[in-house]
Amino acid sequence: MENFQRNDGIPLRTEAFEAVQVNLSAVERRAATLPTRRSVKKEYQAAWLVKALTCIDLTTLAGDDTPGRVQRLCAKAMRPLSDELVEGLGLTDAPPKVGAVCVYPAMVPAAVKALAGSGIPVASVATGFPAGLTPLPQRLAEIRYAVDQGAHEIDIVINRQLVFSQDWQALYDEVAAMREACGAAHLKAILATGDLKTLRNVYKASMVAMQAGADFIKTSTGKEDVNATLPVSLVMLRALRDYGEETGFKIGFKPAGGLKTAKDAMNWLFLMKEELGRRWLEPDLFRIGASSLLGDIERQLEHFVTGRYSAAYRHPLA
Ligand SMILES: O=C[C@H](O)COP(=O)(O)O
């Protein structure tokens, strides 16, 4: 198979990252500073939370999903905040909506229909999510099915055993084949970092996925024992930055799994801003995959409105 290339002029080169060393305690120390070192002024917090909301991949990935549940989720995606809240935050001119809706392939038609005309993309997991252990032809067929049904983004899972065996070429070939099957749809590569055992593996798998054409790298399926963490995210962002410095391409990042609180959302926003800058606070380069984060963001915003802080007031991210 002809390898997909992002026109970055680099075929798979593992030698560039083979020597990489990741100092676990240094990464953990750095990540631990994020939740505490930033004090965001109170009037700015609403703006940060609205920003987080616009970057959510609002997700339902449950065995008992139905088209009805997906329809309700899509309605929430289009109007995540009540009219009172939108007014109280001074956002009536441009009420916020979430970044995307993420569902299983069989739910894509319901999501596409419900979101028609909203401009909100439909993301579908595929490739035998969450384990990724069905044979490759079936995994590719699942991608094609979701794309045919109208999915704009495909969240693939990588084959973890190729990481354990350090078979980077095989991992590259699989992700490149998935990239090709996506056609015009964006590909988000889920590394399932909780399964990958070491941060070096996380760095290398990130690099291989980007070289094979991933538009986003994503931490977790939400189904591993350990999902998105700040240390793992930091390592992925360093890989993303290294790849960008070498090729000039901007790759997106999606932490996912277990992110439930407004504080979680703030921590990841700070991480993005500090590591990559303002540009990575937009939904084309940053998403938070979450099934139950929106509720806490709503609660916190209600608190701000009651306390008369508005998101429009001196918006620090404008
Ligand atoms: O991709 C998104 C994740 O599956 C969501 O995980 P969560 O249900 O823990 O928020």
Active-site residue flag, 113: no
Active-site residue flag, 51: no
Q: Output the pLDDT for position 11.
A: 63
Q: Output the pLDDT for position 245.
A: 93
How many angstroms is it from 100 CA to the middle of ligand 1?
13
How many angstroms is it from 18 CA to the middle of ligand 1?
31
Residue to mutate (ligand 1; options 57, 291, 294, 296; most atoms within 8 A of CB): 291
**Domain membership flag for residue 18:** no
**Domain membership flag for residue 47:** yes
**Domain membership flag for residue 31:** no
When divided into structural domains, the chain yields a total of 1
**Domain membership flag for residue 19:** no
Task: Determine if ligand 1 sits within 6 Å of the CB of residue 255.
Answer: no
Q: Output the pLDDT for position 2.
A: 39
User: Among residues 34, 48, 75, which one has the least CA distance to residue 231?
Assistant: 34
Active-site residue flag, 197: no
**Domain membership flag for residue 84:** yes
Q: Output the pLDDT for position 10.
A: 58
Q: What is the CATH number of the domain that holds 155?
A: 3.20.20.70
Cβ pair 217, 191 in contact under 8 A: yes
pLDDT values of the chain reduced to their tens digit, one per residue, 318 residues: 334 456 555 567 666 666 677 888 888 888 888 775 555 666 678 899 999 999 999 999 999 999 999 999 999 999 999 999 999 999 999 999 999 999 999 999 999 999 999 999 999 999 999 999 999 999 999 999 999 999 999 999 999 999 999 999 999 999 999 999 999 999 999 999 999 999 999 999 999 999 999 999 999 999 999 999 999 999 999 999 999 999 999 999 999 999 999 999 999 999 999 999 999 999 999 999 999 999 999 999 998 888 766 666 555 565
Give the domain range for residue 181: 42-306
